[in-house]
């Protein structure tokens, strides 16, 4: 029998999502995060390596 | 209804049946409604802090000469007013609305990344404290304007570093929030809730979140380069080392102009929910609204240099940015046409949300027109950095974004709190705000046309009369928001007022009106079955 949580906050509703749903969410999230990272590093790399 | 209110029969789900209590509920919050509430409270707090700075600015400008603050402090006040309002009040305010309403509108149980949602919110607190606390640093708060232009930023004291750090944190929070919103909308819609059936508020937020992901890292890059110029010997923006301060402006406005739309697109979404509800009609031209919103977002990336006409650029460049900017008027006009067409021959009533929505359309359109005027390079060169620009962007951001947030508050507060706000007080708030707003900012057009520059603590006698009027209007506008908090927000938060029915608005449609008021702690944990229009829960 699963142990009851010590605190409700330890089990957000996402813990009840299916593993497939979690995986899909993580994949989409990582793709979006990589876009943000590319914009951050891309702008600075352009300025650093190619001047203006 | 069974799909809306979940009755858990599993032993391990017992803790889901009721809302947690005490400080843990808020500190460890993973529930989108709780986090939305915290965002909205944070946003209102920052609105009051930024508003207090505005009151100081208007007090100083009440008459010519120096009354209350010295010019250095005045520059800090204008800078921090802008930063706090943009990054502390408006942006988190709309994220609060998104947290509360997007999962409810699309039939999702919560946001996709519940713990990241908590982290996004709690990052705001240190950032807000750092921004407000920078006044107490040696040399005072950052004073380079909210745009943080080089070379001023390279010459300022340590508070600039604190400001940059705060913006980095706020940017990280925004990016995480955007990822959460996009993933929630793309992956977690209820079956049958296709993209083209989504409520407009969810649509506008989906597009806004993409804008945020594209431009917040650019701002982060610009201020990181400012930081390395200040402390690590680089010269990105320092002419003494071969750098170019104008390049900072290009990078900043590549972020800054989409940022303007980040602050207005969710407002369009809220108005697109309210106008059909109180016209008792479907939204006119739903698909064109979606395409217009997307067009505005795309165009926002190619107009940034209209903020820089006076820096000197080739005529071809001026022409490109001028015409590209004017092009934005087309999709914006489509939206305004659609709102008016929705109201046309509708059975309209004017409860407070509708008053703010109609007020938004009227006053925002005025701000849009002055934007068109400023888009013309020859005129902009005359009006650059005058009070005409100040009037323009306050018409867009106060009468635009803030009014839409007020409209959204009145529209959804029955769902949030379970009680109705006091209609008479709401109407007083609307008329008081509308009149005071116009008394404050309309005279600024004349001041700008007469040549009064912005960001100065003093001015010649010729500008005195309009400044008195603007200051009196400003004080009245500030007082209206104090009234709003004590006589409208507080009573609803304390549960005082008429009990709200499930759907208090006769013409309102959407899944948020399919759940009881106040919204239960957990909703849609089992994906609901929807009708063909995806506006009602079946069974």
Cross-chain Cβ contact B29/A9 below 8 Å: yes
Active site residues of B: 81, 110, 146, 173-174, 257, 259, 261, 272, 306-307, 332, 335, 454
Tokens of A49: 């390596």
Residues of A in contact with B183 (CB under 8 A): 25, 28-29, 32
pLDDT bracket for residue A16 (50, 70, 90): low
Question: Of all residues in chain B, what percent carry a pLDDT higher than 70?
Answer: 96
Average pLDDT over residues B13-18: 46
DSSP state of B530: B
Give yes or no for A43 touching B (CB within 8 A): yes
Q: Give the pLDDT score at A1.
A: 46
- Residue B50 tokens read as 């930024």
Alpha carbon distance B265, B182 (integer Å): 15
Give me the torsion for CA of B311, B313, B319, B325, rounded to 10°: -40
Does the CA dihedral B311-B314-B320-B326 come out positive or negative? positive
What are the structure tokens assigned to B7, written together? 């009755």
Distance CA B419, CA B260 (A): 34
Tell me whether the omega of the peptide bond preceding residue B291 falls within 30 degrees of 0, making it cis. Answer: no
B217 CB neighbours in chain A (<8 A) are 36-37, 39-40, 43
pLDDT of residue B10: 40
Ranges of H-type helices in B232-285: 245-262, 265-279
User: Using one digit for the tens of pLDDT, what is the confidence trace for B57-112?
Assistant: 999 999 999 999 999 999 999 999 999 999 999 999 999 999 999 999 999 999 99
Mutate which of B32, B99, B120, B183 to test chain A, going by most A C-beta atoms within 10 A?
B183
Judging contacts by C-beta atoms under 8 Å, the chain A residues touching residue B20 are 8-9
CB-CB contact of B222 with B213 (8 Å): no
Q: What pLDDT sits at residue A43?
A: 81
Q: Residue B241: how many CB atoms within 10 A of its CB?
A: 11
User: What is the rounded CA–CA span in Å between residue B539 and residue B536?
Assistant: 10
Q: Check B522 against A43: CB less than 8 A apart.
A: no
Rounded to a whole number, what is the distance in Å from the CA of B182 to chain A's nearest CA?
Answer: 8
Interchain contact, A12 vs B183, CB within 8 Å: no
| Average pLDDT, integer, range B182-201 | 97
CA B369 to chain A, closest CA, distance in angstroms equals 33
* pLDDT tens track for B19-47: 678 888 999 999 999 999 999 999 999 99
Residue B306 has pLDDT above 60, yes or no: yes
ipTM above 0.85, yes or no: no
Residues of B within 8 A of A7 (CB-CB) are: 24, 28
**How far apart, in whole angstroms, are the C-alpha atoms of residue B292 and residue B284?**
13
Would you list which residues of chain B are within 8 Å, Cβ to Cβ, of chain A? Answer: 11-16, 20, 24, 28-31, 109-110, 112-115, 175, 178-180, 182-183, 186-188, 213-218, 220-222, 224-225, 236, 244, 247, 251, 522, 525
CB contact under 8 A, B15 and A44: no
pLDDT tens by residue, B118-164: 999 999 999 999 999 999 999 999 999 999 999 999 999 999 999 99
| CA–centroid distance for B286 within its chain | 23
pLDDT at B15 over 60: no
Q: What is the mean pLDDT of chain B?
A: 94
Report whether pLDDT(B335) > 80: yes
**pLDDT-derived band of residue A15, with 50, 70 and 90 as boundaries?**
low
Rounded to 5 degrees, what angle do the CA atoms B351, B354, B355 make? 80
For the segment B283-298, the average pLDDT, to the nearest whole number, is: 97
Alpha-carbon gap, residue B56 to B474, rounded angstroms: 10
Structure tokens at B489: 């927000």
Question: Does A13 contact B218 at a Cβ distance shorter than 8 Å?
Answer: no
Mean pLDDT computed over B330-351: 97
Q: How far is B365 from chain A (nearest CA, A)?
A: 33
pTM of the predicted structure, to 2 decimals: 0.93
pLDDT for the residue numbered B21 = 80
Candidate from B110, B182, B221 with C-beta closest to A32: B182
**B419 forms bridges with which residues in the sheet?**
B499
A42/chain B closest Cα distance in angstroms: 9
A36–chain B Cβ distance below 8 A for any pair: yes
Residue to mutate among A13, A33, A51, with most B CBs inside 10 A, is A13
Burial of B127 (0-12, 13-18, 19+ CB in 10 A): buried
Q: Is residue B431 predicted with pLDDT exceeding 50?
A: yes
């Amino acid at each position: 029998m699963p142990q009851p949580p010590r605190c409700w906050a330890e089990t957000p509703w996402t813990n009840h999502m299916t593993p497939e749903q979690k995986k899909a969410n993580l994949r989409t999230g990582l793709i979006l995060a990589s876009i943000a990272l590319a914009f951050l590093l891309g702008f600075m790399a352009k300025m650093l390596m190619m001047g203006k | 209804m069974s799909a809306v209110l979940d009755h858990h029969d599993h032993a391990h789900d017992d803790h889901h049946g009721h809302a947690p209590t005490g400080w843990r509920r808020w500190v460890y919050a993973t529930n989108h409604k709780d986090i939305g509430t915290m965002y909205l409270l944070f946003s209102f707090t920052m609105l009051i802090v930024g508003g207090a700075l505005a009151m100081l600015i208007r007090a100083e400008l009440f008459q010519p000469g120096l009354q209350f603050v010295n010019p250095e402090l005045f520059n800090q006040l204008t800078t921090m007013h802008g930063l706090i309002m943009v990054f502390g009040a408006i942006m988190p305010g709309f994220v609060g609305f998104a947290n509360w309403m997007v999962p409810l509108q699309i039939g999702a149980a919560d946001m996709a990344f519940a713990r990241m949602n908590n982290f996004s919110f709690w990052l705001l607190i240190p950032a807000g404290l750092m921004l407000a606390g920078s006044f107490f640093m040696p040399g005072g708060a950052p004073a380079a304007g909210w745009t943080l232009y080089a070379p001023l930023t390279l010459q300022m004291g340590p508070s600039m570093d604190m400001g940059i750090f705060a913006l980095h944190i706020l940017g990280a929070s925004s990016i995480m929030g955007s990822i959460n919103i996009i993933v929630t909308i793309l992956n977690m819609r209820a079956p049958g809730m296709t993209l083209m059936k989504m409520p407009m508020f969810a649509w506008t937020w989906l597009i806004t979140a993409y804008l945020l992901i594209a431009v917040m890292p650019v701002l982060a890059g610009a201020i990181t380069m400012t930081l390395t110029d200040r402390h690590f010997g680089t010269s990105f923006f320092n002419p003494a080392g071969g750098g170019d301060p104008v390049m900072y402006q290009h990078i900043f406005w590549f972020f800054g102009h989409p940022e303007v739309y980040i602050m207005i697109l969710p407002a369009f979404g809220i108005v697109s929910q309210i106008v059909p509800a109180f016209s008792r009609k479907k939204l006119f031209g739903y698909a064109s609204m979606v395409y217009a919103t997307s067009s505005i977002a795309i165009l926002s990336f190619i107009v940034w240099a209209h903020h820089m006409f006076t820096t000197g650029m080739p005529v071809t460049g001026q022409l490109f940015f001028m015409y590209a900017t004017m092009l934005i008027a087309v999709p914006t006009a489509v939206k305004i046409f659609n709102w008016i067409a929705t109201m046309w021959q509708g059975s309209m009533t004017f409860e407070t949300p509708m008053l703010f929505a109609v007020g938004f359309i009227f006053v925002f359109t005025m701000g849009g027109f002055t934007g068109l005027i400023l888009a013309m390079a020859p005129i902009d060169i005359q009006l650059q950095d005058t009070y005409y620009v100040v009037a323009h962007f306050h018409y867009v951001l106060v009468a635009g974004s803030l009014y839409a947030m007020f409209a959204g508050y009145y529209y959804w507060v029955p769902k949030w709190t379970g009680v109705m706000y006091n209609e008479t007080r709401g109407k007083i708030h609307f008329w008081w705000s509308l009149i005071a707003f116009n008394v404050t900012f309309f005279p600024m057009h004349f001041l700008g046309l007469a040549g009064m520059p912005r960001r100065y603590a003093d001015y010649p006698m010729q500008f005195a009369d309009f400044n008195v009027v603007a200051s009196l209007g400003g004080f009245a506008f500030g007082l209206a928001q104090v009234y709003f908090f004590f006589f409208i927000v507080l009573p609803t938060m304390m549960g005082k007022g008429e009990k709200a029915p499930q759907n208090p608005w006769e013409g309102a449609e959407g899944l948020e009106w399919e759940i009881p008021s106040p919204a239960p702690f957990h909703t849609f944990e089992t994906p609901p079955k929807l009708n063909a229009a995806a506006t009602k829960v079946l069974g």
